[in-house]
């Protein structure tokens, strides 16, 4: 097989890149280890920056998001029962949209089908060869047969555990990582949200987040130790602890019900550099992971895709390779800004039980600063809704 861009991974980053490239007249083949049904079963966050919404519109997949997504003009922080609303609209004139990542992936699959995209599911033993040469290719097994794709470029959109990042030699690759001493125990329930906007709550029992997917589907999280097990938490135990961590008004509005999904996600900050090696480009979780506190994971993947799509469009359609050469530099500048914000939000809202007394006092001071300073609130709002591409 031969294509211009081989894309490893059919998550939202890989599918969005393929969609944008195909609409720009650039050929792609997408390889995915899992089945389409499995990809569409993954439950992920759904707070979408306006820049990512604009990119989905450019890809021709924004119609359902605009019909069914929920525009949020602010979010709420609670610290020891004190509630502070961060008004995005008045502070920076922007907003976010709550729309599930699963739904974005579904929309992208439908759009790719309409374009006749070549997406190959169920591949094994993927290997990227010659990425540092002018003639890269990808080998893999499919239906028990050895296959090969010759291409101009390879886009690694295959997540943290994929092969793409590992293809870059250790002598070239630098990795920066922070592991947090807790995870998020998350519950999905067919219940109304406790509030029209997200509530990030912090207190002596630890962090909690009241989120939502729709008016009848809610997502709830609490901070738990890193070694905690899901099976230790019955629904009743979760709701009891969750209620204690929410501000009183939210706790009183809470409607409980059976969990339809329950899991624990560890938190880490991770960046791999470079994001470009020869003709291999990393996008999304293949290059970076952020703690979910700042709602940046999918949005960072979208900005990576924007920079790579722009660069490849210039290369093929304008015969200009300058943006290809600086893809990693452009993407990483925004990645590190999001890393800083997500780290800061995580430090602000979570309980770090092993911190010295001095460090444990700082979040209360930070919260007071946010209450008293419009400039501080504006800085939070600008970062939450997303810095410009």
> What residue segments make up the domains of the chain, in order of their start?
5-72+97-177+268-346, 180-267+351-385
CA 81, CA 91: separation in Å to the nearest integer?
23
Question: Quick one: pLDDT band at residue 360, thresholds 50, 70, 90?
Answer: very high
* 375 torsion bin: left (phi>0), alpha (psi -120 to 50), beta (else): alpha
What does DSSP assign to residue 83?
Answer: E
CATH topology classification for 180-267+351-385:
D-Amino Acid Oxidase; Chain A, domain 2 (3.30.9)
Which one of 12, 274, 291, 292 is the catalytic residue?
292
Question: Looking at residues 263-277, what average pLDDT do you find?
Answer: 97
pLDDT at 42: 81
Which one of 220, 276, 288, 296 is the catalytic residue?
296
| Res 362 pLDDT > 80 | yes
Structure tokens belonging to residue 118: 């070549």
| Res 45 pLDDT > 90 | no
**Computed over its alpha carbons, how large is the radius of gyration of the chain?**
21
Which one of 180, 200, 221, 316 is the catalytic residue?
200
Angle at 186 between CA 10 and CA 353, to 5 degrees: 120
CATH topology classification for 5-72+97-177+268-346:
FAD/NAD(P)-binding domain (3.50.50)
Whether 180-267+351-385 and 5-72+97-177+268-346 are alike in CATH topology: the answer is no
> Where are the alpha helices (H) located in 213-326, listed in sequence order?
235-245, 248-253, 297-317, 322-325
First to last CA, the chain: 34
Query: CA–CA distance from 26 to each of 3, 54, 59, 249, 280 (Å)?
Result: 9, 21, 13, 53, 17
Structure tokens belonging to residue 142: 């499919």
| Res 344 pLDDT > 90 | yes
Catalytic annotation present for 72:
yes
User: Facing residues of 96 across strands?
Assistant: 49, 72
How far out from the chain centre does Cα 103 lie? 14
Is-contact 98 49, C-beta < 8 A?
A: no
pLDDT at 174: 98
| Res 375 pLDDT > 90 | yes
Is-contact 155 19, C-beta < 8 A?
A: no
Catalytic annotation present for 296:
yes
Question: Quick one: pLDDT band at residue 214, thresholds 50, 70, 90?
Answer: confident
pLDDT tens, position by position, 66-92? 999 999 999 999 998 899 999 999 999
pLDDT at 213: 85
Question: Looking at residues 291-320, what average pLDDT do you find?
Answer: 97
| Res 43 pLDDT > 80 | no
Structure tokens belonging to residue 19: 């969609």
Indicate the average pLDDT of the chain: 96
Q: What share of the chain is helix, strand, coil (3-state, %, to 5)?
A: 40, 30, 30
pLDDT tens, position by position, 127-181? 999 999 999 999 999 999 999 999 999 999 999 999 999 999 999 999 999 999 9
User: Facing residues of 223 across strands?
Assistant: 184
Catalytic annotation present for 291:
no
pLDDT at 86: 98
pTM greater than 0.85: yes
pLDDT at 219: 94
pLDDT at 388: 94
| Beta-strand pair 288-289/259-273 | antiparallel
Question: Looking at residues 52-60, what average pLDDT do you find?
Answer: 98
| Res 44 pLDDT > 90 | no
Phi and psi torsions of 108, nearest 5°: -70, -40
Question: Looking at residues 314-326, what average pLDDT do you find?
Answer: 97
Of 212, 211, 225, 220, residue with least CA distance to 259: 220
Query: CA–CA distance from 23 to each of 13, 112, 283 (Å)?
Result: 15, 10, 19
């Amino acid at each position: 097989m031969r294509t211009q861009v081989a894309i490893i991974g059919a998550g939202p980053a890989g599918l969005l890149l393929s969609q944008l490239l195909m609409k720009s007249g650039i050929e792609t083949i997408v390889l995915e280890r899992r089945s389409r049904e499995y990809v569409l079963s993954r439950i992920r966050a759904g707070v979408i920056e306006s820049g990512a919404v604009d990119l989905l519109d450019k890809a021709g997949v924004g119609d359902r998001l605009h019909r069914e997504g929920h525009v949020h003009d602010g979010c709420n922080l609670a610290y020891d029962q004190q509630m502070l609303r961060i008004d995005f609209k008045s502070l920076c004139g922007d907003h976010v949209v709550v729309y599930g990542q699963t739904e974005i992936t579904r929309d992208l699959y439908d759009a790719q089908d309409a374009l006749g995209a070549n997406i190959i599911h169920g591949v094994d033993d993927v290997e990227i060869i010659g990425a540092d040469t002018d003639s890269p290719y990808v080998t893999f097994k499919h239906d028990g047969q050895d296959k090969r794709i010759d291409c101009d470029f390879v886009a690694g959109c295959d997540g943290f555990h994929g092969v793409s990042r590992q293809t870059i030699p250790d002598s070239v690759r630098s990795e920066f990582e922070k592991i947090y001493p807790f995870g998020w125990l998350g519950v999905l329930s067919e219940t109304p949200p406790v509030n029209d906007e997200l509530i990030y709550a912090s207190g002596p029992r630890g962090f909690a987040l009241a989120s939502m997917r729709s008016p009848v589907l809610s997502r709830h999280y609490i901070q738990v130790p890193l070694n905690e097990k899901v099976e230790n938490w019955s629904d009743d135990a979760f709701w009891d602890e969750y209620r204690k961590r929410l501000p009183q008004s939210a706790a009183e509005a809470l409607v409980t019900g059976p969990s339809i999904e329950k899991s624990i996600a560890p938190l880490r900050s991770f960046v791999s550099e470079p994001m470009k090696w020869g003709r291999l480009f990393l996008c999304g979780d293949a290059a970076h992971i952020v703690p979910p506190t700042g709602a940046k994971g999918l949005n960072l993947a979208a900005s990576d895709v924007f920079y790579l799509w722009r660069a490849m469009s210039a290369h093929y359609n304008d015969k200009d390779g300058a943006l290809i050469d600086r893809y990693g530099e452009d993407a990483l500048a925004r990645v590190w800004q999001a890393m800083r914000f997500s780290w800061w939000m995580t430090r602000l809202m979570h309980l770090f039980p092993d911190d010295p007394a001095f460090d444990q006092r700082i979040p209360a001071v930070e919260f007071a600063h946010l209450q008293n300073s419009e400039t501080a609130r504006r800085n939070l709002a600008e970062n939450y809704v997303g810095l410009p591409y």
